[in-house]
Amino acid sequence: MSINQLNVDSLFDSSLVAAQQPQWPADELASAVKELKSYPPLVFAGECDDLRSHIAQAAEGKAFWLQGGDCAETFASATADSIRDRIKTILQMAAILQYYSSMPVIKVGRMAGQFAKPRSSDSETRGEVTLPAYRGDAVNDLAFTPEARRPDPQRLVRVYNTSAATLNLVRAFTQGGFADLRKVHDWNKGFVKDNPYAARYEAMATEIGRALDFMKSAGVDPDAFKTVEFFSSHEALILEYEKALTRIDSRTGNPYDVSGHFIWIGERTRQLDGAHVEFASKVRNPIGVKLGPKSTVDDALRLIDKLDPNREPGRLTFITRMGAGKIREALPRLIDGVTKSGAKVLWVCDPMHGNTFESSTGYKTRQFEDVMDEVKGFFEVHKALGTHPGGVHIELTGDDVTECLGGGAKISAEDLASRYETACDPRLNHTQSLELAFLVAEMLRDR
Ligand code: PEP
Ligand code: MN
């Protein structure tokens, strides 16, 4: 399959307002966009179609969606070790979910493109100095100097190159034997040993190993155990980047955003008459939209009309991020209204973004117990309505960071300072990610 690199600019209405865009220097932006347009796709349109069919299965209640990774990827953290540990963490979580629920798990990284962030304020002030806010490595640098905070369009080219290198390693790991289910034990190697979930994981891995040996002894040793499908995803925030990587698929003549398999629109950029929704409406990738606690049924229905007018299974995923205290009240009416419209969306719970607060010690953090309570509320609401709790969307890392409070390891407000490394929002560390997977797996099994 090949993808034509036609000029697709005419697809998009350039008069629409795009929220959350940096003030790019125009000439430099034009040359970065020109460069990006000349590059090959990062993903293939056919892979996006495969993912769309998997999502359709999940929307029918026959699969579970696991999406995880950094809030903000950085160029510095695109190292072999960091990428490997994030993939291993997601593979471990998927094994846990699949083992307990006997359901296929769709594995999706917030990875290989998640470099841009929406911000609540355009600027940041420290003492007497006010500078542009950090908008992710795609735009500027976290350091608080005028030079570092200047939006630099060449960073978009670096996003492409870093995403290409990341995806290359992801593909090598997931297709080259590393993700073989028979390696389920090995995925735990290199992580902290004295964590209670590691022991529980080892016990489960032993059981999986026994089942695989049993099948092998019976002459069954399918190739499906040897590789896994792993998809990339990011928020489609910087439209100049996403448009430059939109190409016409020569098989079908349809446009695809080939910067990632799945793209989503954030809570701050989902205006119905805005440029982000319009962009997503024009590309054939499976699309996600975040829905916060103030979302109305009307918002949801109008997004469906705009993004999924043909009610196509797998096309649209709603990622709800209500907050633990609000989900039980806010989610039922949304699900009810959408179900009545006849649309078949996938419902995914993001238990991170509605549960952020500042710790007594001054860090942006989340309480593990709130994260779990939102997931619990999500399962309760779907159970009551007879709909499928389709998946979870988690900010996590394979590293042993201290960014979220609580969990089995009881991270305290004082502990946050020891390894607080995120460039944006606090992530679950490896131990907390396994703990969450065990708890979600039990809910999925018992639903
Ligand atoms: C995010 O996913 O990092 C994010 C900014 O989420 P939201 O759009 O839901 O606030
Ligand atoms: Mn975030």
Q: Which atom of ligand 1 is nearest to the CA of 267?
A: 8
pLDDT at 46 over 60: yes
pLDDT at 88 over 70: yes
For residue 156, give the nearest of 90, 243, 60, 80 by alpha carbon. 243
Ligand 2 center to residue 109 CA distance, Å?
14
Q: Which of 142-146, 274-278, 303-307, 341-345 is the least confident region?
A: 341-345
With respect to residue 307, please indicate whether it lies within any of the assigned structural domains. Answer: yes
pLDDT at 223: 87
State the virtual CA torsion across 233, 142, 292, 314 in degrees, nearest 10: -10
With respect to residue 422, please indicate whether it lies within any of the assigned structural domains. Answer: yes
State the virtual CA torsion across 392, 396, 397, 400 in degrees, nearest 10: -120
Report the DSSP beta bridge partners of residue 107.
66, 230
Ligand 2 center to residue 118 CA distance, Å?
9
Strands 123-126 and 129-132: antiparallel
Q: Which numbered ligand comes closest to the C-alpha of 119?
A: 1
Ligand 2 center to residue 431 CA distance, Å?
19
With respect to residue 368, please indicate whether it lies within any of the assigned structural domains. Answer: yes
Confidence at 194, pLDDT banded by 50, 70, 90: confident
Q: Which of 42-56, 102-116, 196-210 is the least confident region?
A: 196-210
For the segment 351-369, the average pLDDT, to the nearest whole number, is 97
For the segment 67-94, the average pLDDT, to the nearest whole number, is 97
Q: Which numbered ligand comes closest to the C-alpha of 364?
A: 2
Question: Is the Cβ–Cβ distance between 169 and 85 less than 8 Å?
Answer: no
With respect to residue 298, please indicate whether it lies within any of the assigned structural domains. Answer: yes
pLDDT at 165 over 50: yes
Strands 246-249 and 3-4: antiparallel
Residue recorded with tokens 């954030």: 266
Number of domains the chain contains: 1
Q: Which numbered ligand comes closest to the C-alpha of 350?
A: 1
Q: Domain containing 353: what range?
A: 3-179+227-446
Ligand 2 center to residue 435 CA distance, Å?
20
Closest residue CA from atom 8 of ligand 1: 266
pLDDT at 6: 52
Ligand 1 center to residue 73 CA distance, Å?
13
Phi, psi of 373 (to 5 degrees): -65, -35
With respect to residue 294, please indicate whether it lies within any of the assigned structural domains. Answer: yes
Residue to probe by mutation, ligand 1, list 110, 235, 295, 427, most atoms within 8 Å of CB: 235
pLDDT at 1 over 50: no
Confidence at 196, pLDDT banded by 50, 70, 90: confident
pLDDT at 409: 86
For the segment 120-139, the average pLDDT, to the nearest whole number, is 97
pTM for the structure as a whole: 0.97
C-alpha distances in Å from residue 326, one per residue of 5, 269, 270, 331: 45, 21, 20, 8
Q: Which numbered ligand comes closest to the C-alpha of 396?
A: 2
pLDDT at 190: 85
Question: Is the Cβ–Cβ distance between 421 and 404 less than 8 Å?
Answer: no
Ligand 2 center to residue 424 CA distance, Å?
7
Q: What contacts 319, CB < 8 A, 6 or more positions away?
A: 264, 288, 289, 290, 291, 348, 349, 350, 393
For the segment 283-312, the average pLDDT, to the nearest whole number, is 98
Q: Which numbered ligand comes closest to the C-alpha of 267?
A: 1
Residue to probe by mutation, ligand 1, list 70, 71, 319, 392, most atoms within 8 Å of CB: 71
Q: What is the CB < 6 Å shell around ligand 1?
A: 71, 118, 235, 266-268, 290, 321, 353, 425
| 3-state SS, residue 317 | strand
Question: Is the Cβ–Cβ distance between 164 and 78 less than 8 Å?
Answer: no
Closest residue CA from atom 9 of ligand 1: 267
Ligand 2 center to residue 98 CA distance, Å?
26
Q: Across all residues in the chain, what is the average pLDDT?
A: 96
Q: Which helix (H) or strand (E) holds 233?
A: strand 230-235
| 3-state SS, residue 218 | coil
pLDDT at 328: 98
For 107-132, b/e burial (b = at least 16 CB within 10 A) is bbbbbbbbbbbbbeeeeeeeeeeebb
Q: Which atom of ligand 1 is nearest to the CA of 235?
A: 2
Give the CATH number, domain containing residue 99.
3.20.20.70
Strands 356-358 and 364-366: antiparallel
pLDDT at 193: 78
Q: What is the pLDDT of residues 206-251, one digit of tens each?
A: 999 999 999 999 999 888 889 999 999 999 999 999 999 999 999 9
Question: Is the Cβ–Cβ distance between 353 and 423 less than 8 Å?
Answer: no
Q: Which atom of ligand 1 is nearest to the CA of 425?
A: 3
With respect to residue 419, please indicate whether it lies within any of the assigned structural domains. Answer: yes
With respect to residue 278, please indicate whether it lies within any of the assigned structural domains. Answer: yes
Angle at 139 between CA 416 and CA 120, to 5 degrees: 60
Ligand 1 center to residue 71 CA distance, Å?
8
For residue 288, give the nearest of 59, 105, 47 by alpha carbon. 59
36 Ramachandran zone, left/alpha/beta (phi>0; psi -120 to 50): alpha
DSSP-derived secondary structure for 25-90? -HHHHHHHHHHHHTSPPSS-HHHHHHHHHHHHHHHTTS-EEEEEE-SS--STT-SHHHHHHHHHHH
With respect to residue 386, please indicate whether it lies within any of the assigned structural domains. Answer: yes
For residue 165, give the nearest of 78, 242, 82, 36 by alpha carbon. 78
For the segment 421-446, the average pLDDT, to the nearest whole number, is 97
Report the DSSP beta bridge partners of residue 391.
65, 348
Q: What is the pLDDT of residues 368-406, one digit of tens each?
A: 999 999 999 999 999 999 999 999 999 999 999 999 999
